[in-house]
Structure 1
Amino acid sequence: MKERLGIYIHIPFCASKCAYCDFVSHRVAEFEINNGIEAYFNALSQEIEFYKEEIQKYEIGSVYFGGGTPSIVNGSYISRVLKQLRSVTTFTDDVEITLEVNPGTLTEEKLNYYTASGVNRISMGLQTTNDVLLKQIGRIHSTNDFLTSYDAIKRSGIDNISLDLMFGLPNQTIDDVKKSIELIKTLSPKHVSTYSLKLEEGTPLYERYVNGKIDLPDDEIEREMYHTIENELADLGLMQYEISNFSLPGYESKHNLTYWKNKPYLGLGLSSHSKIGHKRFANTAVMSSYIEQWQAFNPQYADEALLDDKEELFETIMLGLRLNEGISFERINKSYNINFKEKYAVALHELKGYELIVETETHLFLTPKGRDLSNLVFLKFMD
């Protein structure tokens, strides 16, 4: 039986860039001229062909189209990529194929392409129901646009929908967060991902903040927002399974679990990252270089590293502790030939003293307080 492989595909095109976004993306209008989008997907096809023998060692358990805004391009491109992947190797019977969409970019024609090609999960950015906040962070949609797109997805037959919800936004209040959750309650999505705003240097929102033009909620209010979301989603039956992710039972993101369980994944497209075995590598983030390299069938990694056992162990601990199920002592001891409790006895004693972790006979996991301070917990396991 072949091991499962997760595949991430980067679609680096957007209608416009959000004010907080530091992902590699480009305005789609700039590439619609001179067949730039076609050139990108031709390069992507070449990349899939290049990795054909590697992909054939696996069954594909998940495919994730991220961006950018994958729903900004013609649906035929999504169909084309999936058709090529299916010609290379088999998909598992329970394969999860996720496509990120932004409200206002969907059409019935695109949705028909998605469903016909096997897309069975949609991830859509709600972010907030406060239209003033949406405009302030550079989102191009309104709440009404979101509702129209949500209804179109449901009509298409795709029922597995995940929503993104942001908190810690400029001038956002607890009441704003509660209103967003009230809307979510009426929609009954299968999954919600929630993220606190992180200001990245070089983004417009960062510049406004450092120049004193916007205020952000303080740490106490930001944490109250997070716990409000946590509690309200639990009331909906959306149970937390990872620090930022909540789902109905059986609707956890299979693709993201590939990352959190340190399983193999292949990233395709501009600036994408991969980890196969002990090797981690990344594509260039420069569009012209990406297209030229794959036209010549001569890839040059922007980053490449072989992880040693020490690095693999730390990643397994860090990623595993993000999950509510935590890490299994038996599994980690067997994988790395260690006695976890002995190796990290000092760290375990200290973290338990601060009530940041819970240690059972078989597992280690974060407490709610530990989730709030997870980065500090992870540092204790850097050996």
Structure 2
Amino acid sequence: MSQQKTSLGLIFLLYAGGLGAAGQFAKIATIFPEIQALYPASVVTQGLIMSVIGFLGVVFGIFVGQIVSSLGYRKMLIAGMLLGAAMSFVQAFLPPLPLFLASRMIEGLAHLAIVVAAPTLVTQVTAPNKRYLSMTLWSSFFGVGYALCASAAPFALEMAGPPALFAGHGFYMLALAGLSFAFLPRLGLERAPLPTLNDVIARHFRVYRSPYQSPAALGWLFYTLTYLALLTVLPPLFPAEHRLALATMLPIVSILSSFTLAATLMRFLSAVTVAQIGFAGGIAAALWMAVFGVSTELAVAIFVVMGLLQSAGFALVPELNKDPQDQALAMGGIAQMGNLGTMSGTPILLFLLSLMGTGAIPLFLALIFAGGFTSHAIAKRLRQRP
């Protein structure tokens, strides 16, 4: 059962697990040139080292949500941490490329277990009237984890090269597993029966047809389609001396927006409404860009909007789904659609840029943000049906 009081210690312990999950992406992305030098291969194969975790998320997101709710949230969280630690230790030995890729695939399952179980547990150790705050914190895990890993990477490379970063991540995950085993209580949440193959297929249809479980996943799809794509495309449009600063600043802007503007709005408005405000703001920014072009101020404004979508995206899971099993499925949907958006957004925008030039950016943003706003409007209408 969920707690009526908020346990800050447990929330931060679970958040630390999220940082470790973010590190599973960041430990490759932040040292990708070194990885390319260690594993000379085709560009596609090298790209798989980074993206195979995301591919598994697309395929198995909701399935892992079902498994987590069947086998137990605490158990699957700790198992994910231990499995993640083991794969990092394997990678620290720099095995041959096929084995390295296999370790990344297995690590993808560990990643899914963490990002489904941990936020579901966060909602259960938070008082109901404070869940929007804990979900705001959780929504920042990827950006914060990425930044921390990027800060640690130069020291690790100087110490012993990529193996030091991989081993450091492994020890971090191992320590978290131990702390979670020691301090994370068994909450006595009801477990679902283990799913059959037919159950898995049927559950996908049920989740994406549900106006309660689908909004988080679909909203997250439209958010992730734009987030990484803009971080990739916008900085090179500015003078060289400003690119690095802008690339560093924009994710921080979205995190600050989550903790300040989004958290304030959700004291008075539902998470669904805040998400719609975010998408509407994104449409307005896209129209402004179409008329006046790209500017630093506009880029910052767009990432303020991203902060609203980031925070509200997770907060609406417990808002719309009171049962932990439904929350786990919604989190699985977020993992599934989030990985799909992250994998496909940048290639789509780059393709449009090759056809239309920079005029493709406002068109891309307007269409994506309109899709996000519309998806929430339709789901809201369906929930209001008698």
Q: TM-score of the superposition, structure 2-length normalised?
A: 0.24
Q: Which has the higher strand share?
A: 1
Higher helix share: 2
**Relative contact order (C-alpha < 8 Å, sep 6+): which is higher?**
2
